[in-house]
Amino acid sequence: MIPMNGTDLSTKDILTLDFSALALIVAISSAVFNSWMQRRTMWTSVRSQLTSIVQDLIAAQESFSELQTNTSGASDSSGTRSIALNHKLTSLARQACELDRMAPKVAFDVELIAIANALGTSGDVESAETYHRRAIERAQNSYYQSINRSLFAGFLFERYRYEEGRDAYRQALAVLPCDTDDNKAANVMTYRSWLASEARHFPVPNKQFDSCRAAATKLIESIKSDAMRMGWLNQFDAEWPASPV
């Protein structure tokens, strides 16, 4: 036996120590497992609640946008409904934000965009911008990052931050290399959004608009697929006829 403080440990003592150590290891492992299960349960719960709330949020945003579009003149009924929908959007957005704070990595980028849109509509511009930027960071690939950057650019235009918006559109275009027809078509969509933003805020044609349209046309003409190329050219001509030279 190995002496300890002048006393020999018996076989019984050693077994007791071994069992105590084993019990401690089991207790620690159990605590770690229970903690993991609690986090997973919370993650699942937050994921389910966030999915439901974001769906309601998107529906409320659509209703609000339709009301704003279809209301030709101010009226008491439309004004009351607009206030109610805005209040609903704000409430849903705050619920979504709270769930996001509980589990920051649960939300998909598309859900972050939906939250950003609702926050922007309700007037919380600073938080809306934060969620737009997070959506860009959370994009799963270059295609979705390009889309999210383009949506952020539109958001900036609506806040009269035109140069920042143009830079954001340029960044969206830079994400996808123009090495396939599909990527080219995706970038054409970005140009289309950019042109729409310019047209909503400035009289067209103008130098900036014409430059953007010319770059889009050049990209379209590089598409190898005849059907895709002609389809986009016809669409651009229908939406924004080329300025006379």
- Evaluate whether 57 touches 114 at the Cβ level (below 8 Å): yes
- Rounded to whole angstroms, the Cα distance separating 69 from 67 reads 5
- Evaluate whether 226 touches 232 at the Cβ level (below 8 Å): no
Kindly report the backbone phi and psi dihedral angles of residue 143, in degrees, each rounded to the nearest multiple of 5, phi listed first.
Answer: -60, -50
Of the candidates 134, 108, 132, the one whose C-alpha atom is nearest the C-alpha of residue 51 is 108
The predicted structure's pLDDT at residue 1? 44
- Rounded to whole angstroms, the Cα distance separating 38 from 44 reads 10
214-241: b or e for each residue (b if 16 or more CB lie within 10 Å)?
eebbebbeebeeeebbeebeeebeeebe
The predicted structure's pLDDT at residue 73? 54
The predicted structure's pLDDT at residue 105? 87
- Rounded to whole angstroms, the Cα distance separating 226 from 28 reads 66
Enter the tokens of residue 34. Answer: 């229970």
Q: Where do the H-state alpha helices sit in 103-180?
A: 109-122, 125-138, 142-158, 162-175
* CA geometry: angle 88, 56, 124, nearest 5 deg: 45
List all residues 6 or more positions away from 185 whose beta carbon is below 8 Å from its beta carbon: 223, 228, 232
Q: List Cα–Cα distances, 81 to 85, 89, 154, in angstroms.
A: 6, 12, 26
Local structure of 4: helix, strand or coil:
strand
Rg (CA), the chain: 28
Q: At what angle do helices 125-138 and 142-158 cross, to 10 degrees?
A: 160
Of the candidates 210, 197, 131, the one whose C-alpha atom is nearest the C-alpha of residue 167 is 197
Residues of the chain with pLDDT under 70: 1-10, 12-15, 17-24, 26-27, 29-40, 43, 71-77, 243-245
- The one-letter amino acid code at 145 reads Q
The predicted structure's pLDDT at residue 211? 95
- 103-122 pLDDT tens trace: 888 999 999 999 999 999 98
pTM: 0.79
